[in-house]
Structure 1
């Protein structure tokens, strides 16, 4: 019984110490990942050398320069 309580206490402690999600980027609209999903595009790199995956609606639009 003591072993069970000790195991539960350790698991609870580890769940509090480990981050629950991925790091946010691009003004909190993107997430740092190894690979972006189908509905996201990589726009910049994160500080941990992962891709900053951002949905297209949050990316800046390209300006067309007049010729």
Structure 2
């Protein structure tokens, strides 16, 4: 009985920790959100209208010789 209740509590906690509304974008390196954190930047927009928040190391580099 204790094992069953411990398992249920663990599953309940895990379900609270994983957000269900954060869709992945930008080759699975970004997340669709209403607001980005300080360390993330917006590069594209998701199909649901939210911003695709991507860390700068995963964004393409600007090449000055290509316009």
User: What interval of TM-score do these two structures reach, taking the shorter chain for normalisation?
Assistant: 0.5 to 0.7
> 4+ runs of 1 displaced by more than 6 Å?
none
Alpha-carbon distance, 1:36 to partner:
0.4
Using structure 1 for the length normalisation, give the TM-score. 0.67
Where in structure 1 are there 5+ consecutive unaligned residues? 1-11
Query: Which of 1 and 2 has greater Rg?
Result: 1
For this pair of structures, how many residues does the alignment match? 50
TM-score by structure 2 length?
Answer: 0.67
CA change 1:46–1:40 in 2 (3 A) is same
